[in-house]
Amino acid sequence: MSSAKELGERKIIELILECLDQMPNPLIPFGDDASAVDLGTDKLAVINMDMLVGKTDVPRTMSLWQAARKAVIMNISDLAAKGAQPLALLASIGVPPNLTKTDIQQIGKGLNAGAREYNTYILGGDTNEASDLIISCMALGVCRKHHLIKRSGAKPGDYVAVTGSFGKTASGLKILMNSLSAPENSGELVASVLMPKARVKEGMILAQSQATTASIDSSDGLAWSLHEISRASNVGFHLDKIPIAPEVERFAKIHGFDPVELALYGGEEYELLVTIKPKLWQEAKKAVENVEGNLIKLGRVTEEKQLLLQTDGKLVSIEARGWEHFKTA
Amino acid sequence: MSSAKELGERKIIELILECLDQMPNPLIPFGDDASAVDLGTDKLAVINMDMLVGKTDVPRTMSLWQAARKAVIMNISDLAAKGAQPLALLASIGVPPNLTKTDIQQIGKGLNAGAREYNTYILGGDTNEASDLIISCMALGVCRKHHLIKRSGAKPGDYVAVTGSFGKTASGLKILMNSLSAPENSGELVASVLMPKARVKEGMILAQSQATTASIDSSDGLAWSLHEISRASNVGFHLDKIPIAPEVERFAKIHGFDPVELALYGGEEYELLVTIKPKLWQEAKKAVENVEGNLIKLGRVTEEKQLLLQTDGKLVSIEARGWEHFKTA
């Protein structure tokens, strides 16, 4: 019988989902960035949970402080994708027996730093003995019922846009893991891996703008996230461009990588990918800029369920590939 | 420098808490069963997170289905202790590479069973590759602001009471782990370990009754939980009796154990330990019986901060001992 290693992360999730009864009329379906619960007022509780495992999610050059902070950021990013304001966090920690007092303090400080950056707090949790370092966080946020953005609302003709450029974490990981040389002035490539940011202000303002029809965070990679919205909204995409950071272009050139490949098929990049009503585009872009963010148009939502990118004068298909644990390569 | 193994679980929690900024005016302080967040209405979101680790929390005779169900129950029990109604659960799972498809389905079905028993649902989560089996759950509940019960409200003169008898899990664990023989008709001892129950109806009705001044679940053992209320409320206890299940008395007799020891210093027993205003005792007891529960009086809250038990005509001190991971015995 297949082992977890052969099944892969997505098949495992599918197997578990098949065992779960669905809440009647869920506000957000299974598999979205976060879940929402009606509290009987006009506000929804938005909750999310995401686990960081030392041996698979933490490059050797990442400190425990950075790992703990990242465990918080990746949860906050999922709230951001739903336009929710983060209110509180909890953390359950699996502690390998050989961690020192200083190691544990670094974890505590990293958790706190991540929470305070987004004006929230770690309210509780627990610790346990474990073989791996495990930092399992959950985030609670709140949003108004009519502001909640799902993955399923994209309509043909909508613009598709992102809150930043891509390819930095894929490049940064290659620098950290494969010891590849970094171009000059490219500290952002490594920083994108070690010190990710969540797009909370952008997510909240996009939800409030009423312009946004679908939203996801790009933590599983841009290509995978496009496919997720495609699947949930039953639409396709025609992209005219992918915003690639100049450092990524330089890094790709030095080492002979395709920068578009780095941008599309990376992961752990916490930008938001959204679809926007064309009539409200200027308004949405302005709103995001007012909170010191960016909204960069990539192209259009199409009725035909193909995911295409115009690049160097030709149309290429965007594959449903992305970061996945377990799967033997 | 001390390792996690030498520090022990409680010292590790303390080290982490020292690193965390406190939310101003928290509704529930750090270290209570659960945390509460004001949603700006008369309702509070009550959240809790607790991790089950295969190698330390799952006896070999416990199935994966039972382990997953238990991971849910222990989180629901913490909501019960705060009088909150469970609304939703999330689960992050660390999957060892050798688990089979059937194993994973057993985990999914166990999670679902635990959630559905308490009329709630698993709404989401994630899975990750890990060396140990990790089932990290969070529970979201709701309660009215003025119904929230902390650990800190016990007043001298209050009655102290529990929702069931004690010693079953300590006996059950000895039967399972040390292969000790069980007395006849004592299936409940092992069942208390493999199929724990949370006291949700009892917790909710006690919160609504306005009789309850403090509440905790007894998952760290009865003695430890008494000490927690003592510390949080700055009071002591004078107990006249401890309710011990008849099966526990029989088991203790066969093997020469002290049944009071089994009842006080066990753990993983999900009863509620509460303090009750004496004037409202009858009302509270009646209310709990109306939801098919029990409320058993143990004794009184005292001003003097000693924890004493009257047993066999003498007064003995209740020690601050209980279940703790990590600590080398």
What residue in B sits closest to A328 (Cα-Cα)? B97
* Cβ contact A108–B37 (<8 Å): no
- Per-residue pLDDT tens digits for A90-145: 999 999 999 999 999 999 999 999 999 999 999 999 999 999 999 999 999 999 99
Distance from B241 to chain A by nearest Cα, in Å? 31
Q: What is the pLDDT of residue B140?
A: 98
Q: What is the pLDDT of residue B110?
A: 98
Q: What is the pLDDT of residue B329?
A: 31
> Mean pLDDT over residues A293-304, rounded?
98
A95 - beta bridge partners? A129
The confidence band for B322, taking pLDDT boundaries of 50, 70 and 90, is: confident
* Cβ contact A21–B138 (<8 Å): no
* Cβ contact A51–B100 (<8 Å): no
Tell me the three state secondary structure of residue B85: strand
A232 with A150: CB under 8 angstroms? yes
- Exposed, middle or buried by CB within 10 Å (0-12, 13-18, 19+), for A174? buried
Q: What is the pLDDT of residue A324?
A: 52
- Per-residue pLDDT tens digits for B133-171: 999 999 999 999 999 999 999 999 999 999 999 999 999
B147 - beta bridge partners? none
Mutate to test the interface with A, among B14, B35, B123 (most CBs of A within 10 A): B123
The confidence band for B324, taking pLDDT boundaries of 50, 70 and 90, is: low
Sign of CA dihedral B214, B216, B221, B222: positive
Q: Which residue has the tokens 């194993």?
A: B103
* Cβ contact B134–A51 (<8 Å): yes
Mutate to test the interface with A, among B103, B117, B126 (most CBs of A within 10 A): B126
- Per-residue pLDDT tens digits for A233-260: 999 999 999 999 999 999 999 999 999 9
Residue type, B51: M
* Cβ contact B124–A49 (<8 Å): yes
Distance from A196 to chain B by nearest Cα, in Å? 20
- Residue among A4, A45, A97 whose CB faces B3 most closely: A97
B284 with B295: CB under 8 angstroms? yes
Q: What is the pLDDT of residue A326?
A: 41
* Cβ contact B95–A326 (<8 Å): yes
CA dist., res. A45 & res. A227, Å (int): 27
B-chain residues near A92 (CB < 8 A): 49-51, 136
pLDDT at A325 over 50: no
DSSP state, B20? S
* Cβ contact B99–A4 (<8 Å): yes
> Mean pLDDT over residues B279-293, rounded?
98
* Cβ contact A45–B45 (<8 Å): yes
- Per-residue pLDDT tens digits for B251-270: 999 999 999 999 999 989 99
* Cβ contact B18–A111 (<8 Å): no
Mutate to test the interface with A, among B55, B64, B78, B95 (most CBs of A within 10 A): B95
- State which H helix or E strand residue B237 sits in: strand B236-239
The confidence band for B328, taking pLDDT boundaries of 50, 70 and 90, is: very low
Tell me the three state secondary structure of residue B73: helix
* Cβ contact A37–B124 (<8 Å): no
Distance from B246 to chain A by nearest Cα, in Å? 33
Q: Which of A266, A305, A77 lies closest to A172, judged by CA?
A: A266
Mutate to test the interface with A, among B11, B38, B127, B217 (most CBs of A within 10 A): B127
What residue in B sits closest to A98 (Cα-Cα)? B3
Average pLDDT, chain A: 94
* Cβ contact B132–A136 (<8 Å): no
A277 with A211: CB under 8 angstroms? yes
> Mean pLDDT over residues A319-324, rounded?
78
* Cβ contact B19–A51 (<8 Å): no
> Mean pLDDT over residues B295-304, rounded?
98
B9 with B327: CB under 8 angstroms? yes
Chain-centre distance of CA B52, in angstroms? 13
Distance from A97 to chain B by nearest Cα, in Å? 5
Interface predicted TM-score of the whole assembly (ipTM), two decimals: 0.94
* Cβ contact A96–B12 (<8 Å): no
Average pLDDT, chain B: 94
Q: Which domains does chain B have, with CATH numbers?
A: 4-146 (3.30.1330.10), 149-317 (3.90.650.10)
3-state secondary structure chain A: CCEHHHHCHHHHHHHHHHHCCCCCCCCCCCCCCCEEEECCCCEEEEEEEEEEEHHHHCCCCCCHHHHHHHHHHHHHHHHHHCCCEEEEEEEEEEECCCCEHHHHHHHHHHHHHHHHHCCCCEEEEEEEECCCCEEEEEEEEEEEHHHCCCCCCCCCCCEEEECCCECHHHHHHHHHHCCCCCCCCCHHHHHHHHCCCCCHHHHHHHHHCCCEEEEEECCCCHHHHHHHHHHHHCCEEEECCCCECHHHHHHHHHHCCCHHHHHHCCCCCCCEEEEECHHHHHHHHHHHHHCCCCCEEEEEEECCCCEEEEECCEEEECCCCCCCCCCCC
Q: What is the pLDDT of residue B326?
A: 41
Distance from A42 to chain B by nearest Cα, in Å? 10
CA dist., res. B170 & res. B190, Å (int): 9
CA dist., res. A33 & res. A324, Å (int): 16
**pTM of the predicted model as reported, rounded to 2 decimal places:** 0.94
Which has the higher per-residue pLDDT, B33 or A222?
A222
CA dist., res. A270 & res. A63, Å (int): 19
- Residue among B7, B132, B138 whose CB faces A131 most closely: B132
pLDDT at A329 over 60: no
Distance from B266 to chain A by nearest Cα, in Å? 18
Tell me the three state secondary structure of residue B195: coil
A328: number of Cβ within 10 Å = 7
Distance from B271 to chain A by nearest Cα, in Å? 20
- State which H helix or E strand residue B7 sits in: helix B4-7
Q: Which residue has the tokens 């025609």?
A: A238
DSSP state, B279? G
C-alpha distances in angstroms, A222 versus A87, A209, A294, A319, B117?
Answer: 27, 23, 17, 10, 39
CA dist., res. B276 & res. B217, Å (int): 15
Q: What is the pLDDT of residue B327?
A: 42
CA dist., res. A73 & res. B23, Å (int): 18
Which region, left, alpha or beta, applies to residue B40 given φ > 0 means left and ψ of -120 to 50 means alpha?
left
Tell me the three state secondary structure of residue B211: coil
pLDDT at B181 over 50: yes
Percent of chain B at pLDDT > 70 equals: 98
CA dist., res. B50 & res. B57, Å (int): 12
Q: Which of B235, B216, B212 lies closest to B301, judged by CA?
A: B235
Q: Which of A115, A245, A77 lies closest to A172, judged by CA?
A: A245
Which has the higher per-residue pLDDT, B184 or A294?
A294
The confidence band for A323, taking pLDDT boundaries of 50, 70 and 90, is: low
C-alpha distances in angstroms, A183 versus A138, A253, A254, A273?
Answer: 37, 10, 8, 28
